[in-house]
Every structure is written in C-alpha cells, then in structure tokens.
Structure 1
C-alpha cells in the first residue's frame, strides 16, 4: 500500500511545501477582520460592516476545517521530537477546538443576522474579543513550532532523519 504514496521531500512532505500555514493565515485574517468589522459596525451603526463580518465568519468556518485537516497530515509527517511534542499537541487540541468554536460563533452569528441584520448584542462582541485571544495564542503556538522547533524545515528534517534529534 505504501508503494503508491509519493516519496517525501526534504521538508518531509509529499508536496513541495506546507499547506497548513497558507490556509490558516486566511482563517486568521478572516476572523480578525470579522471581529474588527463587528466592532466598527457597532460603533458606527453601519450595518454594512455586519454583512462583511458575517461572510468572513462563514468562510473562516469552512477554511479552518481545511486548515485542521492539512495540519493533522503535516503534524503526522513532521516527526516531532520530544521537546516539540507538547507544543504540537496543544496546538492540535486548540486547532480542533477552534474549529468547533468558530463554527458555533458563526451559527450564533447566523441566528443574530436572521433576527436583526442591523444590530449585534454586546455579549457577541465580547465573545469575538475572546476569540481573538484564542486565535492569538494559537498563532503563537504555531510560530513556536516553525520558528523555534523548526518543524518541516530542511535542517531539522535532516537532523531527525540522521537521528540527531530524538
């Protein structure tokens, strides 16, 4: 069965480079912009910002599931060494959690939009700010995995293959 899989490159991937960060940056941008538009719409009383926010949440919900799937595949191929495993596990758990949280917030946003597309309650804005905190922490964990632990970078992949990192 494994004979049919493509060989892994020097990033330890079957394709040229990591896809997870590419997709996840769209999610980060869409969530940040959605919350920003909600806050801006609330203070300017311009309902057009709420519409922009809704569509950003909608596409962020779809995109985060794609990001999580590629994240799982790439985490499995990373061959994490013991020092990086705790951060990778926390990043994985929070990623799956955020996919559910963002989906729930989007569903709540849909209900609010259906009832009154021209206003948002303060608790929803508060949840948006909390969501920004979670996304920020998740981004920090992802940065650690790449910039500190070097997962999927050529020198680290070579060190893991040579048995230097265990």
Structure 2
C-alpha cells in the first residue's frame, strides 16, 4: 500500500499522476487509514514524516527557529528604532523572546548530539567552536530579553545604542554559528547516515590519536622522572 506522503501528494495534485482522480484519492486515504490502524504509532510517524524519524537528534530540526526568529528580531528592532515606531519594537520583542527559548532548546539538543555523533579530529575543533558560539548566542539573547523585559521595552538614548550594537553582535554570532554548522554537515557529513562509515572510521582514528598522545605524554613524564 502507499504511504501517507504519497496520499498527501495525491490529494494535493488531484491524483492525476496515478490516474485515480478524486475517487482514487479517497480510496487511497481509506487504504492508508486501514494500514495505519494495524501499525504502531512509531511506524505511522516514520511513514508520515520520514525525514524527522530518521534524525538521531533534533538539533538540525530546532536550529532553524532561533536563526529565523532572532534575525527577524534584529532587523525589525533596528528599523523600528530608526523609524521611531515603538509598536514595531514591541512586536520585535516577541521574536526575541521566542528566539531565546528556541535557542535554549537548540543548544541543549546540540550538546547531546556532540556527545553522541561520530566525528574525527578535524571536525572536533570545528564542533567545539560551534558549541561555544551557540552558547554565546543563547547567553546574549537571554541578556537582551531580560533587559527588554526589565525596562518594559522602553529603551532610549545611549542605552538604546548599546542595545542596538548588542543586537547586531547577536546577528553576527548567529551567522558564524550557522556557518560552522553547515560546514560540519555539508563538507564533513556529520550526522549524515550515508557518511556514517567514514565518520565512524575518523572517530576511531581520533580516539587512537588521542590515546597515543596521552601515552606519549605519560611516557615522557616517566622518562623525565628517572635519574641518569
């Protein structure tokens, strides 16, 4: 039987590709419902959203939200400040608050992923920079949120200039953080199942190199402790 995604496609396109038309779509939906009734919730979820079901960690799914929300906040807030539109700044505040919450969830998921995703030594340094930048984004977004709430959105004078500079710094940190995340995925295939054999081998080599360095350091210490 067809999967949920295929039935959704048939419903949107009128079933023209399958030649069934409206009647074919209805029959397909009935068949899908019958099939779903005999399967577990997990199997149905994987059938409906196979991309999300294939994820080992939700970090790649969550990361889009703080990027979009916080960049929208920065853009709207700066325009509103220059145009003297307090109502726009009030709307921008909600993008900031939502972006901060999603940033917290994204950082948490990212830290979990970093501990479980196979990667080599060449990626480890990039991953650490990505982590530090991500945490910096969260801290700065939280700081701006607390500041905004404390003054109830009424920031003016020199304080407004400082706030604007920090908001632009936040946007810059977001761009650099996203760039490193993209580098790990699109160049090194981190968390990409098709690249798992390569990453597993690189991770094993990374562990061996780390162990060898530790052994060399230990040997050097022992050697230095002997009298000659």
Cα shift readout 1:10-51 (whole Å, capped 9, x = no counterpart): xxxxx5214212211110111100011111111221212111
The CA distance in 1 between the partners of 2:73 and 2:165, in whole Å, is: 13
Q: Which has the higher contact order (CA 8 A, sep 6+)?
A: 1
Confirm or deny that 1:112 pairs with 2:151: yes
Confirm or deny that 1:122 pairs with 2:136: no
Q: In proportion to residue count, which structure has more helix?
A: 2
Is contact 2:120–2:202 with CA below 8 Å preserved after alignment?
no
Number of positions where the alignment pairs a residue of Structure 1 with one of Structure 2: 150
Cα shift readout 1:95-129 (whole Å, capped 9, x = no counterpart): 12221111111111222335x27887122111111
Cα-Cα RMSD: 2.0
The CA distance in 2 between the partners of 1:136 and 1:128, in whole Å, is: 13
Confirm or deny that 1:16 pairs with 2:54: yes
The alpha carbon displacement at 1:158 in A equals: 2.0
Task: Tell me what 1:10 maps to.
Answer: none
The CA distance in 2 between the partners of 1:94 and 1:153, in whole Å, is: 22
Name the larger-Rg structure: 2
**1:68-147 pair list within 5 angstroms:** 68-113=107-152, 116=154, 121-147=160-186
TM-score (normalised: structure 1): 0.81
Instruction: Structure 1: state its 5+ residue gaps.
Output: 1-14
Which of 27, 33, 37 is 2:66 aligned to?
27
The alpha carbon displacement at 1:150 in A equals: 0.8
TM-score (normalised: structure 2): 0.60
The CA distance in 1 between the partners of 2:156 and 2:88, in whole Å, is: 9
Task: Tell me what 1:64 maps to.
Answer: 103
The CA distance in 1 between the partners of 2:151 and 2:184, in whole Å, is: 37
The 3-state SS of whatever aligns with 1:33 is: helix
